[in-house]
Amino acid sequence: MLAYAAALILAAASSAPLPGIPAPPGELRGQVVGRTGAPVARFTVNGVRFESPEGRFKVLTPPEGEFRVVIRAEGYAPNVFHVQGASGKKLQIPEIRLGQGEHILGEVLDAETEMPVQEARASLADPAKLERLRFVRPERVASVAVSGYGGWYEIKHAPRGLLVLVVSAPGYLPEFVPVNTREPLPPVYLHRGGTLGGAVRDMSGAPLPGARVVALSKDANDGAEGVTNRLGRFTFEKLRPGRYKVMALVGGRSAESGEVPVADGIETEVRVKVDAPATPVAIAAAR
């Protein structure tokens, strides 16, 4: 009985990763086939080239976390999917089918005038988690299309499913729009952005240089941060339209404004007065 218990302890200890030693990666195997079910002999998996008469491949996956897989082959639409990494585990996908994808049309308009925007660049991307796109470079999964005179563009061999449409044009802020490529794409409205500027002063009206200023908008999902100059002023440009709160921090003192609107092509002025912590904070906002 003691020998059996000791064997179990040794087995558990041998399977558990030792402190400071990275866990081994996992493994993903699969077979790539075309529309008819015949193997695709030449393809790439996350940029790595494979040549296999049976369309088979093997790649390593992270020991944990979500792992994105993009399979491309000439003449086919990319296939994008995600797997969950698992240390030392082998995942087998018997059949990964490639097809012609979708042929989609879209329209790009100016958010202020609703006039067509020419020379806008549009493409489809992954990840699907929109909130991460400002921090993670999206994986492009379709060729870049350029809008013409009427603001229309077309994307051929687009993957089917839920993706993110990325649209940019000179003089405009980029837009990231969740779309389903099986459905008609909505028009994309591009914004030029607005400006939020102002001054931070103490209760006597003296400017406060070097104050940290933060502007945040929940509905626009945008923000900016900076420091006041020697005159106590700050300026944030190219902010997405929405309502913003402005907070000023000076040492142990702080003040927060009410919500102020920011619109395309308009400069909004906000004045923030910071008092000592023991007395009330006075804030005035002006447009």
pTM over 0.85: no
Could you give the CA distance from residue 190 to residue 166 in angstroms, rounded to a whole number? Answer: 11
Could you give the CA distance from residue 30 to residue 93 in angstroms, rounded to a whole number? Answer: 5
DSSP 85: -
Q: Which residues contact 244 (CB under 8 A, 6 or more apart)?
A: 196, 215, 216, 217, 220, 223, 259, 260, 261, 262
Single out the residue of 282, 175, 269 nearest to residue 215, CA to CA.
269
Amino acid at 226: G
Structure tokens at 172: 């405009």
Q: How many residues does the chain have?
A: 287
Could you give the CA distance from residue 24 to residue 151 in angstroms, rounded to a whole number? Answer: 50
pLDDT of res. 258: 86
CATH numbers and ranges of domains, the chain: 24-97 (2.60.40.1120), 102-190 (2.60.40.1120), 194-285 (2.60.40.1120)
Single out the residue of 251, 248, 235 nearest to residue 274, CA to CA.
248
DSSP 207: B
Residue 266, phi then psi, degrees to nearest 5: -120, 140
**Cα 214 to the chain's mean position, in Å?**
21
Residue 26, phi then psi, degrees to nearest 5: -95, -170
Averaged over successive runs of 10 residues, the pLDDT of the chain (287 residues) comes to: 42 51 87 93 93 94 85 90 85 91 94 96 76 57 91 92 91 92 93 95 91 92 92 94 94 87 94 64 42
* CB distance 137 to 105 below 8 Å: no
Could you give the CA distance from residue 284 to residue 82 in angstroms, rounded to a whole number? Answer: 49
Q: Which residues contact 35 (CB under 8 A, 6 or more apart)?
A: 97, 98, 99, 100
Could you give the CA distance from residue 123 to residue 140 in angstroms, rounded to a whole number? Answer: 7
Could you give the CA distance from residue 81 to residue 71 in angstroms, rounded to a whole number? Answer: 9
* CB distance 252 to 277 below 8 Å: yes
Amino acid at 215: A
Could you give the CA distance from residue 116 to residue 126 in angstroms, rounded to a whole number? Answer: 26
pLDDT of res. 4: 41
Single out the residue of 254, 252, 250, 245 nearest to residue 281, CA to CA.
254
